[in-house]
Amino acid sequence: MTSLTAVVAKDLRLAWRNRAAWLSAMAFSTIAVLTYSFAFDLATGDVRPLLPGVLWTTFLFAGVFAAGQSFQEEVDDGTFDALLFSPVGATTIFLGKLTANLIALLIIECSQLVLATILFDVGLLTPELLGIVVIGTVGYVSLTTLLATMGGHVRGRSVLLPVLSLPLLVPLLIGAVRATGASLGLEAGTAPWMLLLLVFAIWSTLAAVLLFPIAAEQ
């Protein structure tokens, strides 16, 4: 547990010190939400059917863009090797990085939910929707963190991550968009889509925990 908190604290401190990638993700998502708000006619139309797509494309691209950066710096500086030969197990390294990425990304996502609530005049800060965002984010951050590890030593890795991750994330996107729509009252009941999201999040986290030691070896 001490090792896990040490790795999380280190990753969060590094993310803060070298915050260009996360600030870029924040700027990108803010511009995306702002642009969508200009595009929709808020006075006459119901924007709720569009909001799930707006939110999840914004979250997903911000996450894919930023999640790989923290891992890449570790590989380039050789510190990832220093973690691998330390007594900290590969699973702890993965869980630490996953937690740090998750915290950073949830901060961005919550800020965008606040912004979208103001711009679209729709109540988005409900416990149900926050739960959907957290579960969905766990699902895609664990997968993108694993894929970033696998591509860490490969040329063209910045292109590889979105190309590999986006097809794998299709089930999560479907579940997240439909669950968000249901929580906004667009269809009856969030339960089936929440279940899909939950199963995906558990599957991707377990698969990533099991595969990370193999992916981490040079």
Decide: 175 and 197 in contact? Cβ < 8 Å: yes
CB of 37 to other proteins, least distance (A): 35
| Continuous H helices in 78-169 | 79-84, 90-120, 127-150, 157-168
**Taking a C-beta distance cutoff of 8 angstroms, is the pair 72, 152 a contact?**
yes
Q: How far is the CB of 168 from other proteins (least distance, A)?
A: 26
Instruction: Return the residues of window 14-53 that contact other proteins according to CB under 8 A.
Output: 14, 17-18
Site for other proteins in 74-133 (CB under 8 A): 77-79, 81-89
* Burial zone of 215 (CB within 10 Å; 0-12 exposed, 13-18 middle, 19+ buried): middle
Among 7, 141, 143, 182, contact with other proteins (rule: CB under 8 A): 7
Inter-axis angle of helices 157-168 and 127-150, nearest 10:
130
Category of 121 on φ-ψ map: left (φ > 0), alpha (ψ -120 to 50) or beta: left
CA 139 remoteness from chain centre: 8
**Among the residue ranges 4-12, 26-34, 149-157, 194-202, the one whose residues contact other proteins (CB under 8 A):** 4-12
- 84 vs 110 by CB, closer to other proteins: 84
- Residue 166's identity, in one-letter code, is L
CB closer to other proteins out of 78 and 167: 78
Judged by beta carbon, residue 41 or residue 217, the one nearer other proteins is: 217
The C-alpha atoms of residue 27 and residue 194 are separated, in whole angstroms, by 29
In angstroms, what is the minimal distance from the CB of 74 to other proteins?
9
Return the residue of 1, 41, 167, 218 that touches other proteins, per CB under 8 A: 218
Least distance to other proteins, CB of residue 16, Å = 9
Which listed range, 23-31, 73-81, 108-116, 201-209, lies at the site for other proteins (CB under 8 A)? 73-81
CB 46 within 8 A of CB 181: no
Measured between alpha carbons, how far is 130 from 21 in angstroms, rounded to an integer? 24
Look up tokens 């030691």; give the residue. 213
Nearest alpha-carbon partner for 190 in 120, 114, 131: 131
Nearest distance from C-beta of residue 19 to other proteins, angstroms? 10
| The one segment of 13-21, 33-41, 102-110, 119-127 that binds other proteins by CB under 8 A | 13-21
Judged by beta carbon, residue 5 or residue 35, the one nearer other proteins is 5
- Where on the chain is the footprint of other proteins (CB under 8 A)? 2-3, 6-7, 10, 13-14, 17-18, 77-79, 81-89, 217-218
